[in-house]
Structure 1
Amino acid sequence: MNVEQCFASFARRWGACVLASCLLANSAIAAPATTFAALQQSALPTAKAPRAVLLGLTRAGERLVAVGERGIVLLSDDSGTTWRQARVPVSVSLTAVQFVDAEQGWAVGHLGVVLHTQDGGETWQKQLDGQRAIALAVQFAERDVNQPDGTSHLAQARRMLDDGPDKPFLDLYFSDRLHGYVVGAYNQIFRTDDGGRSWQPWMRHVDNPQGLNLYGIRAVVNDLWLVGERGLLLRSTDAGQSFQALKSPYEGSFFGLLGTRDGALVVYGLRGNAWWSGDRGNSWRRLDTGIESTLASALQLRDGGLLLASQSGELLFSHDQGRSFDKRQSRSGGTLAAVQQAVDGSLTSVGLTGVAADQDPRAAGQP
């Protein structure tokens, strides 16, 4: 991974551990045993885990699940008041997590790791890592070499093989217990139709000839979206069979996308930039966020409102389906990476200084 990709990955999840992991991965050729040992070493239990660098946060039913550096996974069953550490078979940094119900969830991270849980996050199993991912990419590219653009896809797969299996996954999307995608650096995208028991490289289905980083993936109504660096916006209207690039309103990186209940879109990224579309991404209007900090996370609240959160801890709320946002509150305590609404309506965030719970439901836009 080159320096530009390292800093892009750092920008995506706001953790010092991400940059450190990139630099470590960059030394894979010189010290492969040291680098990839983290794929075999379980995350160490530590009482300091709630104060570790945490990069992803989600809900599993009524439970909160946070993931972060050194394979740490934390669980809270009291809306973020107390946390306990789960058992994880790897010690690489985990960047994102999603559950489709109270039991079934997946997490992704550095060195191409994909983890799966069937018990609400109590225990995790590795389904994929960078070594297997690269082998699959080469295998499928060699099989499809006679297809349109097959030669270029094979060349790209072989370059990834030469670089080493150190590329991070940065986001994921599962529609149910069987069907999902993981995405990451260098246009990495893999698809599963059996809950992660097997994976297919999906790069040749994506209109991204420069191999730009993919930072986010989300479904909005009947479309599936990818966002990435240099203003990359890709839309699939055929259930993920193909992703077509759209004209972007912005040349900087997009780190995420949020869909509203009425099908509108909000994309967000560097320097407080956020854009709104009411026509499935065919045109965009810039939103006046009033901030200059990079937007790190977005969330639809249970009352229908929308929340944007900056890496500096600024919270922006919208009650008109994303057409405008108002700054309500600034959260202190370190850089923010992700925010989630707990079952009691309060907000919990994670970042460089671990977890921070706000037990006032009014902070989440409640009456």
Structure 2
Amino acid sequence: MNRITQAGRLLLALALPFSATWCLAESAAVGSPLRTPAMQVAPSQKAVLIDLARAGERLVAVGERGLVLLSDDNGQSWRQAVVPVSVSLSAVQFVDAQTGWAVGHAGVVLATRDGGEHWTLQLDGLRAAQIELDAAKAEQATAADQDSAEARVQSAERLLADGADKPFLALDFVDARRGLIVGAYGLVLQTRDGGATWQSLMGQIANPMGMHLYAIGHQGSRWFLAGEQGFLARSDDDGASFAQLDSPYEGSFFTLQSRADGALLVGGLKGHAFITSDAGASFQRLPVPMPVSFSDAIRLADGQVLLANQSGALFRSSVQSEAALLPLGKPLGKPVSSLIEAADGSLIVAGFTGLLRVPQPATAVSE
């Protein structure tokens, strides 16, 4: 299993986008935060926000220590939601105006059925590790390759012995019942009943080194994963199994996003970005004028993909500029962990210094 040593934590803190770093480097003593509701934060306080989502026209931001903020006026004002845990939340998604999930540190999976007003705990790291151990033992009973099966069981046993300190870093729900969540150590779990039960997919993914997984996405029945050390994988059977792709780059990927025409963009360390129009069979590098790591990518209402890097620079990719990333306005001058397009066309940006609203006129393409 890929373990994170103390020295490794320092390297991660220096090298990774803070959306992943914050979760991976947080204290291992997570028992109390799993039982402690998120602390109320003053509206004026600059909290660390890690990810953003749309719940209908409502905006939802998640971040450190279980913080969830809601906005019903396109990001002009925010209020805090009720959350039962105080561990950092790394990703959030809604499938409609009411139904959503958030994942984060300590293997936490939270669900909401009222647009983010209240959240319930569906899963934690200990239960996630037990699910993987049960799946590994079930596979071992019938496996032709007993050595490989035994290695998986031993890895799962270490996951369980290590405790709840296992961050989930990304999620992708198709509808109110089915979704996949991914995270550190190659963790991949699936639900088909809205999170009431979960199944491990680690045995169906070609990830023998247990690379951390930072991003997930799908195009119809085809799914993609991206992670550390250039790890890329694709499923052609609606997420039942994943085969590793030949990567165009050995550095980590932190985000992936599909354009309206089906092209897939991946972005990672030091400004490396690539595009594929053949489902990962080949990749073309997208030249970027600054060596700053990409942290997030979204698809805008017009079908373009917008990428953000850690320095606050934004780049767009469209069908008309297929082989290039074009700067979008001036750099924001602050680190960006996530961004979302509000219902009024403005951009909302999250990061270490809180939230920023960029009005629609400011998103005009820079020459």
Quick one: distance in 2 between partners of 1:145 and 1:7?
A: 35
Cα gap change, 1:128 to 1:13, in 2 (>3 Å)? farther
Q: Which residue of 2 aligns with 1:31?
A: none
Q: Which residue of 2 aligns with 1:241?
A: 240
Secondary structure of the 2:319 match is: coil
Is the 1:6–1:23 Cα contact (8 Å) retained in structure 2? no
Quick one: distance in 1 between partners of 2:304 and 2:19?
A: 28
Counterpart pick for 2:27 among 10, 24, 47: 24
Secondary structure of the 2:41 match is: coil
User: Larger deviation: 72-81 or 141-150?
Assistant: 141-150
1:181-222 deviation line (CA, Å, top 9, x unaligned): 111000001110000000111100110001110111100243
Q: How far is 1:160 from its partner?
A: 1.2
Please say if 1:102 is aligned against 2:97. Answer: yes
Quick one: distance in 2 between partners of 1:16 and 1:174?
A: 20
- CA RMSD, Structure 1 to Structure 2 (Å): 2.0
Is the 1:15–1:352 Cα contact (8 Å) retained in structure 2? no
Specify the code of the residue in structure 2 equivalent to 1:284: F
Secondary structure of the 1:135 match is: helix
Cα gap change, 1:293 to 1:268, in 2 (>3 Å)? same
Cα gap change, 1:157 to 1:120, in 2 (>3 Å)? same
Please say if 1:137 is aligned against 2:141. Answer: no
Gaps of 5+ in 1: 29-34
Secondary structure of the 2:129 match is: helix
Q: Which residue of 2 aligns with 1:181?
A: 180
User: Larger deviation: 346-355 or 153-162?
Assistant: 153-162
Q: Which residue of 1 aligns with 2:60?
A: 65
Quick one: distance in 2 between partners of 1:265 and 1:16?
A: 21
Is the 1:130–1:165 Cα contact (8 Å) retained in structure 2? yes
Q: Which residue of 1 aligns with 2:288?
A: 289
Specify the code of the residue in structure 2 equivalent to 1:294: S
Q: Which residue of 2 aligns with 1:275?
A: 274
Cα gap change, 1:38 to 1:6, in 2 (>3 Å)? farther
Q: Which residue of 1 aligns with 2:85?
A: 90
User: After TM superposition, what 4+ stretches of structure 1 lie above 6 angstroms from structure 2?
Assistant: none
Q: How far is 1:319 from its partner?
A: 2.6
Secondary structure of the 2:59 match is: strand
Secondary structure of the 1:356 match is: strand
User: Larger deviation: 129-138 or 109-118?
Assistant: 129-138
Gaps of 5+ in 2: none
Counterpart pick for 2:121 among 109, 114, 126: 126
Quick one: distance in 2 between partners of 1:75 and 1:272?
A: 31
User: Larger deviation: 41-50 or 282-291?
Assistant: 41-50
1:262-282 deviation line (CA, Å, top 9, x unaligned): 211111100000001111110
Q: How far is 1:137 from its partner?
A: 1.6
1:94-114 deviation line (CA, Å, top 9, x unaligned): 000000111100000000000
Q: Which residue of 1 aligns with 2:256?
A: 257
Is the 1:5–1:185 Cα contact (8 Å) retained in structure 2? no
Q: Which residue of 2 aligns with 1:345?
A: 345
Q: Which residue of 2 aligns with 1:299?
A: 298
Q: How far is 1:50 from its partner?
A: 5.9
Q: Which residue of 2 aligns with 1:169?
A: 168
Quick one: distance in 2 between partners of 1:168 and 1:2?
A: 15
Cα gap change, 1:274 to 1:293, in 2 (>3 Å)? same
Quick one: distance in 2 between partners of 1:216 and 1:17?
A: 14
Specify the code of the residue in structure 2 equivalent to 1:353: T
Q: How far is 1:292 from its partner?
A: 1.0
Cα gap change, 1:281 to 1:17, in 2 (>3 Å)? closer
Quick one: distance in 1 between partners of 2:212 and 2:254?
A: 10
Q: Which residue of 1 aligns with 2:359?
A: 359
Cα gap change, 1:17 to 1:255, in 2 (>3 Å)? closer
Specify the code of the residue in structure 1 equivalent to 2:59: L
Is the 1:103–1:118 Cα contact (8 Å) retained in structure 2? yes
Specify the code of the residue in structure 2 equivalent to 1:90: V
Quick one: distance in 2 between partners of 1:312 and 1:137?
A: 37
Is the 1:56–1:97 Cα contact (8 Å) retained in structure 2? yes
Cα gap change, 1:98 to 1:15, in 2 (>3 Å)? closer
Specify the code of the residue in structure 2 equivalent to 1:348: I
Specify the code of the residue in structure 2 equivalent to 1:192: T
Specify the code of the residue in structure 1 equivalent to 2:270: R
Cα gap change, 1:221 to 1:50, in 2 (>3 Å)? farther
User: TM-score under structure 1 normalisation?
Assistant: 0.92
Percent identical across equivalent pairs? 45
Quick one: distance in 1 between partners of 2:139 and 2:82?
A: 39
Report how many aligned residue pairs link the two structures.
Answer: 357
Secondary structure of the 1:329 match is: coil
Cα gap change, 1:284 to 1:51, in 2 (>3 Å)? same
Q: Which residue of 2 aligns with 1:42?
A: 37
1:319-361 deviation line (CA, Å, top 9, x unaligned): 3265311112234353110011000001010000000001234
Secondary structure of the 2:262 match is: coil
Q: Which residue of 1 aligns with 2:157?
A: 158
Is the 2:329–2:364 Cα contact (8 Å) retained in structure 1? no
Counterpart pick for 1:14 among 13, 18, 21: 18
Please say if 1:327 is aligned against 2:327. Answer: yes
